[in-house]
Structure 1
Amino acid sequence: MDRTDVEAAVFASRVSGCLLAGAVGDALGGPIEFSTLFGLRRQYGDAGITDLIYEGPGRTALITDDTQMTLFTVEGLIRFGVRIPGKTAGSAERAVLRALQRWNDTQRYFGPDELPAGDHRTGWLLQQPWLYHRRAPGAACLSGLESRLDGFAEWGRPGNVNPDSKGCGTVMRSAPFGLFATDAPAGFDLAARCAQYTHGHPTGYLAAGATSAIVHHLSRGRELIEAVSMTQELLATYPGHSETSEALRSAVALASQGGATSEKVEMLGGGWVAEEALAIAVYCALTAAETGGPAAAMMRRALLLSVNHSGDSDSTGSICGNLMGAWRGAEAIPSEWLVRLENRETINTLISDFIVALRDAPSLARGVPPWQDRYPGA
């Protein structure tokens, strides 16, 4: 295996790790999303939960809307790459919007057989019945996609859709943009624009951009603190960045003190809004890195810390998983957690296709029928 092959294999592991660890973190936090820290400790002991909670058929751990929306975002980016010249056109943003509209269909109908006809209602992911389960989707995500409004705001100004909303529904689906983009600024801008389909508050969409930029740097080999620092510098160039910048500064400063605890996590907020969710994820990842040890042990510590608090545990767990997986790769995810993840085979298939599309998207558009059947253009 030459250097190019090794680099490709490492990048593929980071892509897989980012998306799979995000799903694992989501599944860890989902069952306790509305619990308090006091309640968690009373029920599970001083450490809170220490393992997945199996609520699905066959003792599986269920994902939530966070992973559902991430999967459809990935599908939209693949379909942008597979678009057929002369037959399909448009931008990556438009491809993602149509993918998110497909996700919205899964929240409105009971299964693929009930879908009405529509030019965006195509592709294999929409045909997966298990994705039609509602897992506490965010109100702004649903109302934003129902509004059918688009168009992007000047940086720092409210967007057209839900202009006062900055919920964490933007950051929990933004990791794929960092994997997809050729550089961090491009990933930042793409994530921030696509966040505006549901959340128009500048902090909501700029925090999404920052999430994408950190993931980009990590997936290309940067160390964690370096990726965060470089993203802080990029973020500071955008009008309206102050809330997100302050949240990241607080996370870095708190992590530097050592002694990670759930009480310190809660000093950063509950994670219900975008900048808090990102800050909690960054804090938990940084403290795990500071403690060191085997990658799997760091992954376990980071993810458990990221969900054992009184806030939006599935979203903070998902984002922390995205960061840790993009940094340490798929091999760092505890295997006993992966094997119990809901419909892991479908998730793995989508990730494998995404890796192929990232590597060789131009050839996919030249007429490979299986790809055009599964991903029929943007």
Structure 2
Amino acid sequence: MTRVEQEAWRARVRGCLLGGAIGDALGGPVEFEDSPTILAAHPDGVRSFVSGSIGWPPGTITDDTQMTLFTVEGLIRAGVRTDRGLGFTFAVVQHAYDRWLDTQTLNGPSGERDGWLQAEQWLYARRAPGTTCLSALTQARQGNDRIPQFGAQAVNDSKGCGGVMRVAPFGLLPAWRWFDTESIFDAAADAAGYTHGHPTGKLASGALAALIHRICGGAELDKALDEVALMLAQRPHHEETSTALSRARQAAAAGTHSVQTVEQLGGGWVAEEALAIAVYAALACPAPEQFLDALALAVTHSGDSDSTGAICGNILGALHGETALPPELVFTVEGRPVILQLADDFALEFTQPERLHGDYGPHTPWTTRYPGW
């Protein structure tokens, strides 16, 4: 991989993570409002950060970005784990979600966890976390203070969007480090399954990760969607996700872009609808200079606005890179230093791991920061 290609990929990583956070923060304060109320206050759609409830200032992220950041950290730690000769173990990501659960049940770091992300006090704010994510991870603990064994799928029938809104980082894993798109699809679907047991919740998550992976590989958005559609068609129970994506593409091609069109695709509360709305908005406003137009379209509706905004931001951030992000939102979004630090550490782990931790090597500052489990 050339240096130029590596720099382009790093820009996609930063764009995807920061774009998702911006979309999340745009949509969070209006998530539980209906579209007439939103449009009365924002006739052109939500295009700037606004305040939410008490303790929710403009630019505040929600649980969508919180869990996405723990996904990133989990993947980095899975990369470090390969030093043990065990291969890349995606179940390490469930350990990361277990640490996220601490941030939603404790007032601050307990001192009993390792790694650095769980020590960030600002992540302990509860921003309407999904009940399915909370209950499934709590059940996985089996009455203990942490999950005793990682990798088991949730035993429920939920297809809520709490899986798809957090798996974009799987799509950022580079092809030159073992990761083909099919395996990315399946790994992201399994990761969504740690909390959401319905096949559609898993497949919509796998589809998003595969879409981002193909985009990061240089595919145009339409071409990447074609490839994802073929992958979906090969998997049992794909019909709901395939139909939702097909409807999104048809709506975008029709050329009439409005709140009404968004709401015809659903509310985004379930996985396939959240993915469809995000894809529709990205297709409707695909150019780099239309980034904010796409996010406004994705969040201005009577539904799960933070999740649809986050997913749309993930997609377009990966497509265009960080330079396309609206600067007036970039510099005020909550947690930007941590988001970018994780993005850069992710890039370091998957480009130059030998400079950070050698095979079976000694304890290093990097492995203190990212223990391999």
Tell whether the structures are fold-level matches, with TM greater than 0.5: yes
- CA-to-aligned-CA distance 1:247-267 (integer Å, 9 cap, x gap): 001001111100210110000
**Among residues 2, 8, 11, which one is paired with 1:10 in the alignment?**
8
Map of 1:231 onto structure 2: 228
Report how far residue 54 of structure 1 moved. Answer: 4.7
- CA-to-aligned-CA distance 1:173-193 (integer Å, 9 cap, x gap): 111111115221111010011
Q: Does 1:165 align with 2:158?
A: yes
Map of 2:59 onto structure 1: 61
Q: Does 1:373 align with 2:371?
A: no
- Tell me if the contact between 1:140 and 1:162 (Cα under 8 Å) persists in the aligned partners: no
Map of 1:353 onto structure 2: 345
Which secondary structure state, in structure 1, belongs to the residue aligned with residue 90 of structure 2? helix
- Tell me if the contact between 2:92 and 2:150 (Cα under 8 Å) persists in the aligned partners: no
- Tell me if the contact between 1:28 and 1:53 (Cα under 8 Å) persists in the aligned partners: yes
Using the alignment, how far apart are the partners of 1:371 and 1:116 within structure 2? 19
- Tell me if the contact between 1:140 and 1:199 (Cα under 8 Å) persists in the aligned partners: yes
- CA-to-aligned-CA distance 1:226-279 (integer Å, 9 cap, x gap): 111110111110001000000001001111100210110000000000000000
- Aligned-partner residue type, residue 165 of structure 1: S
Using the alignment, how far apart are the partners of 1:79 and 1:180 within structure 2? 13
Structure 1 stretches lacking a partner, 5+ long = 153-158
Using the alignment, how far apart are the partners of 1:8 and 1:308 within structure 2? 35
- CA-to-aligned-CA distance 1:296-331 (integer Å, 9 cap, x gap): x21111101000000000000000000000101100
> Which is worse superposed, 164-173 or 53-62?
53-62
Using the alignment, how far apart are the partners of 1:89 and 1:106 within structure 2? 29
- Aligned-partner residue type, residue 244 of structure 2: A
> Which is worse superposed, 175-184 or 129-138?
175-184
- Tell me if the contact between 1:151 and 1:160 (Cα under 8 Å) persists in the aligned partners: no
- Aligned-partner residue type, residue 200 of structure 1: G
**Among residues 206, 211, 217, which one is paired with 2:208 in the alignment?**
211
Map of 1:130 onto structure 2: 122
Using the alignment, how far apart are the partners of 1:24 and 1:249 within structure 2? 26
- Tell me if the contact between 1:166 and 1:205 (Cα under 8 Å) persists in the aligned partners: yes
Map of 1:50 onto structure 2: 47
Map of 2:68 onto structure 1: 70
Map of 2:24 onto structure 1: 26
- Tell me if the contact between 2:211 and 2:228 (Cα under 8 Å) persists in the aligned partners: yes
Report how far residue 89 of structure 1 moved. Answer: 5.4
Using the alignment, how far apart are the partners of 1:238 and 1:188 within structure 2? 11
> Which is worse superposed, 172-181 or 128-137?
172-181
Q: Does 1:39 align with 2:27?
A: no
- Aligned-partner residue type, residue 370 of structure 1: P
Which secondary structure state, in structure 1, belongs to the residue aligned with residue 204 of structure 2? helix
Distance 1:7 1:84, change over 3 A: closer
- Tell me if the contact between 2:45 and 2:297 (Cα under 8 Å) persists in the aligned partners: no
Q: Does 1:98 align with 2:95?
A: yes
Using the alignment, how far apart are the partners of 2:83 and 2:166 within structure 1? 28
Q: Does 1:250 align with 2:243?
A: no
**Among residues 136, 140, 144, which one is paired with 2:132 in the alignment?**
140
Q: Spell out the pairing of 1:109-120 with structure 2 (5 A cutoff).
A: 109-112=106-109, 115=110, 117=112
Using the alignment, how far apart are the partners of 2:9 and 2:98 within structure 1? 29
Map of 1:279 onto structure 2: 276
- Tell me if the contact between 2:81 and 2:88 (Cα under 8 Å) persists in the aligned partners: no
- CA-to-aligned-CA distance 1:105-142 (integer Å, 9 cap, x gap): 10000111xx273xxx2100000000000000101101
Report how far residue 161 of structure 1 moved. Answer: 1.8
- Aligned-partner residue type, residue 309 of structure 2: G
Using the alignment, how far apart are the partners of 1:84 and 1:8 within structure 2? 22
Report how far residue 364 of structure 1 moved. Answer: 3.0
Map of 1:155 onto structure 2: none
- CA-to-aligned-CA distance 1:28-78 (integer Å, 9 cap, x gap): 00000101001112223x223221115699965110000000000000000
- Tell me if the contact between 1:26 and 1:317 (Cα under 8 Å) persists in the aligned partners: yes
TM-score (norm: length of structure 1): 0.90
TM-score (norm: length of structure 2): 0.91
Map of 2:265 onto structure 1: 268
